[in-house]
A and B are shown apart, each in its own frame.
Chain A
């Protein structure tokens, strides 16, 4: 068959590579180059030697691994407990529990950290209350606090993925194992565990990568507990003695660390691809007595703790304030202050996110079609190249964009474009992947049927394939919107006064101790995210896994 679209797709292919080159390879290359040159422009490994030599950096590296694996195990523990209880036992209000998990997932970053400070910090509400009762507990600062926040923030990844996998384990397998005389515990470990292992490693990886990349939480809760992300930001943003080449060196280390874990996870789950069949779905057991109480307690405790930051910030956003200090009673002052002083921040966030999402949807869809339909070496490479932004922490993307677009042929620093593009490139792979995979699920004979009925190939694509993938694309766009509008770390590096976004403002407000306005801004952010998630679910059905 002649390919009337040949030229179009060749152009798309070339443009895609150009796009990747400009927005990905040049920034990453600039980071690498910058890390290999000293201030006066000579090639050197001095930065890396300094990284290895200076105790402060070594400590940051170690701390990064600690919070990474701590977050990983915490999330695995909480998430698995919840997934197991919800998918195997009859839990009242299962949908509500999932909603709590979604809340934790879409809550603005680091607002969690601050809410925990409000409750358990030096002047924390709960701590104060307990002290009145004669119970004294240490404040939540430091590594312990970071790990608690990470566990509660990232457990939804594990919960959603593992419960999906658990409900696909064919019950016949477990029954067969029972027939062979395995005890329930043995069954769990020998049959169910291997089946959900890929979901465990994949969701654990997500938790790990997000924990390593997270900047706000260690910054607010750490109190001197430094990690690579905070070090990179400090080095970059220090007003005196900003050290770009050291910041880029740390960025390279961060990329490498993330990459190693992605590869490790792929290696670990390489053989474990199980396709569950739905014929014999596992049933939920109705527990009795104290077991039932325990299961409900565990599920609701985890769910509510995870959603607590959101609840706290919604409540605090309505509290009466006098300046930054909270007063008794409720009022709309915080919202008034946003309305009168921070309108442009909200507007910036909305504009940037909408533009970024529009670009992501348009370009991501076309490239997704390319990847799915024109399979050759080139598209396989493209698929691989799209993995790169996935492992780049936001801080690193920010620093990379500064390194690439501060001087040289394209100068973008200080513009809205640089923030939009940084969001765009990070989220593009997601759309490409989901488009490609939903296209691969549509049988090619569907378009062929239309062609045999008299439609040209392009019309067949337009009338059959497009309507089938559009709901998924809209849903994906909405979820990209959630990520876009909540993005903190890259924007923090890239913003200037006129391009400040809501997360950046919230971060600065918290640093200033103005929690009322921060809480109100967070609530607005949450509302916007909630609407986007709701629309997404309307279009593709309630599918929590798509949030990951």
Chain B
């Protein structure tokens, strides 16, 4: 049996609103598990149910085989890292980290070594005696991390711990979190609405949407093989083909057909551009005109108006020669493996 198991979790707010609606998932020992979804989809609600800060309306949560819902939050032994850091401003960095060891009756000498170790791990060893108030957001979150880790909790929960930091620090700190988690080997549930962060950091990702699970899988599965249209659009970007003769002709040429497919879509990075008269060389071609060219350094986005709708083509490592002018005639190359189809209710077909 898995380490943490959530079965059919439901949480109702008010008379009819369901913040969680039949959520089931399981997390393995030592796993880095991420809840990913747009704001308001119920991630925090689920996390707080596991932490014990709000109870579920119905459903089960077990940790290591025993029912967690009957345990009061302060006896659950679950470490938590907060979006707003929740560092205690009246305690020094050292005392913040030592705070959770006191109720565990750890001897003073051991407190000292464990706290020092934890602070070293988050690279705050030199700041132990300082008060956190004047420290930067990144440093405060490091305190929060050390404080949650040092108690060797059975589970570590992090609710958007990096979303208040600036972009560069976010990337730096997420790598650190990932490394530390692997070292201490504590099962971790990490909440984020940032798909790139989720892909970079997780062993497995659970994509949520309005209180329900869309898909659970490794980053490769989530990105490369999305099981719903929602996942495909939320993780990465998606071109949706406009239905009509041009789309049918293209699918015919590629020999693709899915009975009942309501939507066909393709990722920008799976498309390529060629001259207006290209035969495609195995790919289908869609003639079109460039309407916008956006240079982003590592890549460029070319927006092309085609008979099958407006498509964005992503070109890697664009040199000077790759620049396209608006109005230029081009062909968009669609390889056979690129298009994905979804049924009317958003489920992936033939994936």
Contact = CB atoms under 8 A, between A and B. Distances in A.
Interface of A: 1-2, 443, 445-446, 448-457, 460, 464, 467-468
B301 interface: no
A467 B148 CA distance: 21
B267 interface: no
B86 A443 contact: yes
Contacts of B148: 452-453
Interface in B40-55: 51-55
B88 interface: yes
Given A449-B144, A451-B73, A452-B157, 11 more contacts: A443-B84, A445-B84, A448-B73, A449-B80, A449-B82, A449-B88, A452-B73, A452-B76, A453-B103, A454-B103, A456-B74
A454 B77 CA distance: 7
7 contacts: A1-B72, A445-B86, A449-B144, A450-B88, A451-B53, A452-B76, A452-B148
Interface of B: prevailing SS: loop
B78 interface: yes
A452 B79 contact: yes
B298 interface: no
B125 to A, nearest CB: 21
Which of A449, A455, A457 is the most central at the interface, judged by chain B CB atoms within 10 Å of its CB? A449
B215 to A, nearest CB: 29
Contact of A467 (B78, B80, B86, B90): B90
A452 B78 contact: yes
Nearest to B151: A453
B151 A1 contact: no
A448 B89 contact: no
Contacts of B103: 453-455
A448 B82 contact: yes
A446 B86 contact: yes
Contacts of B211: none
A467 B88 CA distance: 10
B73 A453 contact: no
For A2, A453, A467, the residue with the greatest tally of chain B CB atoms inside 10 Å of its CB is A453
A363 B123 CA distance: 45
Q: Interface of chain A, helix or strand or loop or mixed? A: helix
B219 interface: no
B84 A1 contact: no
Nearest to A464: B88
Contacts of A453: 74, 79, 99-100, 103, 147-148, 151
Given A453-B151, A454-B104, A448 B86 contact: yes
Interface in B58-91: 72-80, 82-84, 86, 88-90
Contacts of B82: 445, 448-449
Contacts of A449: 80, 82, 86, 88, 144, 147
A464 B86 CA distance: 11
A450 B79 CA distance: 10
Nearest to B53: A448
B174 to A, nearest CB: 20
A11 B17 CA distance: 32
Contacts of A446: 86, 88
Nearest to A449: B86
Contacts of A2: 72
A290 to B, nearest CB: 43
Nearest to B54: A1
A457 B52 contact: no
A361 B84 CA distance: 30
A450 B73 CA distance: 10
Most buried by A among B72, B104, B148: B72
B91 to A, nearest CB: 9
Q: Which 7 A-B pairs have the closest CB atoms?
A: A453-B100, A454-B103, A445-B86, A452-B80, A449-B86, A445-B82, A451-B74
A448 B99 contact: no
A456 B71 CA distance: 12
A452 B48 CA distance: 11
Contacts of A450: 88, 99
A215 to B, nearest CB: 44
Nearest to B77: A454
B90 A454 contact: no
Contacts of B89: 468
Nearest to B80: A452
A457 B53 CA distance: 10
Contacts of A1: 52-55, 72-73
Contact of B90 (A445, A448, A457, A468): A468
